Amino acid sequence: MNQFPAKACAENMDPTDTKTHSVALSGWCLHPRSFPCQATKGWHKFAMIWAWLLALQATGAQPADPASFQSQQKRLQSYLAHRPNEGQAKNIILFIGDGMGISTLTASRILEGQQQGDSGEENSLSWESFPYSALVKVYNTNQQTPDSAGTMSAIMTGHKTKAYTFGYDQQVVRGDHNSLQAFNGPAAACETLLEQFEKAGKSTGLVTTARVTHATPAACYAHSPERNWEHDGDLKDDNPKAYQAGFKDIARQLIEFPHGNGIEVVLGGGRQAFLPNTAPDPEDPTIKGHRLDNHNLINTWLGSTGASFVFDRAGLLQVNPDRTQRLLGLFERSHMTYEVDRRKEVHPSDPSLSEMSLTALDIVRRNQEGFFLMIEGGRIDHAHHAGNAHRALVETIALSDAVRAVHSALSPTEQKETLILVTADHSHTFTIAGYPTRGNPILGLVVGNDDQGKPEKAPKKDAMGLPYTTLAYANGGGYTGPIQNRKTREIREGGQHFHLDIGDGGGPLSSHEDWKYLRTPRAPRPDLSEVDVACEDYVQEAGVALSSETHAGEDVAVFAIGPMAHLVRGVIEQNFLYHVMQFASRGSGLPQ
């Protein structure tokens, strides 16, 4: 086991990491980063954790307990003294954790607490101190388990609609432009809250760690029967008739936004949709854009008064909000770098979600009429699709940091005039299970308690005598059972699949189209005793074999603070959130 003096440990920390990733014991630190991250030889990590548990018990150290009887008495008194803010919302900030289900909230809360040296369960994410919350029903009009386009469209327009579409009512047919009223169909366009704010002379902004043309941000400003029509190449490939009919792709709709004076701030990924296939990428000139129409949409943006464009963190940090009227920041060709990987860079090329959020806030808050700002932690969803809990939880913690940073940056007057909502568009098949002891590493193997309620000395075993993790998925790429070749009938045992390429919505399994999964009893699970299950690349086991883990259909949470936040309560339909935001902004130039 590697040990560092506490001071030396601090000196070895990543300077861009704002969290403490170590536990100090009598002047010594057991540092997780002192161990290699690999799929084998992981027993040393369990030994480290066990040493921490023994030391905690031996020293009699007791962490502060916000769940104590006295703490709950204080909470009761604060609730009794609380009075709702019934004023008008001059500003609205909507935070979306894409795919951030309740199990993700719980696991992220615990991981953040454990990164700070506590047991974790008593920790709280930034928005969990907001005074109001509710459960949100997330189904689409045609799907029990939803997608991000239909759910975000419900939040932004007040109308539930079909999966994979946004900005139209439920008469829309996915991928069919002829179903729209503009092409003589029945589906009506639905005005978004962002469009209303622009028409009222307010400022608007979008921040995301995904592509800015991806479903969640796009549903704020665009209208499309197909979420994947991000640029004209996508449109032509998917529906040549819509392309020939002149339907505008999502990137064009963003740049040619017709309402008010246009969106003031757009920060995220997705440069490829804005550059023609003849134009070099600013970070890698050997790679070209994806557009077929030879339109450089970045240059179109720069043609407006006071507009700026940045493509890396250094450029963003040089932006002067007082001298910038409109800012477009596209930091990657596709989605932005995961926070886990961004922190590894000595000089990160991508900004953090907090840095983007604070820059956007400083620009839109200059408008005395008010603003609407949507901030998305978009890659929570992508990591879950890949079956990679580590990255999903770190992305959630980064969103919590952004919420804390933005709320803290608001003046007392702004806090009284700003409605803040934090919610998710949907959840994932992500589970927290077993009977781990208090403080057991959330990313680790399950270590239970003995008959006296004290931590055991070894991980729990399943019915086959094998250890298992606390976190898992109901389906996805982490399936480890047998597969059979469709042609040769050869059977391949599972159990070797520990890592997965982290891409857009997951990655391929070790099998290909010639292989199928057997409808036979599972082969024995892999022995995880020597596997570093806390490694950032580890893929949790999954029950059903799919190349990409799916969304889940249960309710998600919403947290609220500010004017009319008390309307957020009970169990609500997802499109009710639009009506709360719209009503809270009454009298501020928005339609009643």
Cβ proximity of 386 and 477 under 8 Å: yes
**How is 264-316 classified by DSSP, letter by letter?**
SEEEEE-GGGTSBTTSBPSS-TTSB--BSS---HHHHHHTSTTEEEE-SHHHH
What distance in Å separates the CA atoms of residue 167 and residue 158, rounded to the nearest whole number?
A: 10
First to last CA, the chain: 65
Cβ proximity of 259 and 198 under 8 Å: yes
| 542: CB partners within 8 A, 6+ apart | 387, 429, 472, 473, 474, 475, 476, 477, 478, 479, 549
Dihedral sign of CA atoms 232, 236, 237, 238 in order = positive
Q: Any catalytic annotation for residue 148?
A: yes
CA angle, residues 359, 360, 363, in degrees to nearest 5: 90
Q: Token digits for 287?
A: 């790679």
CA atoms within 13 A on the CB side of 403: 27
Catalytic residue, from 133, 148, 179, 427: name it. 148
Q: Token digits for 560?
A: 């609220």
Q: How many CB atoms sit inside 10 A of residue 479's CB? A: 26
Q: What are the beta bridge partners of residue 208?
A: 376
Catalytic residues: 148
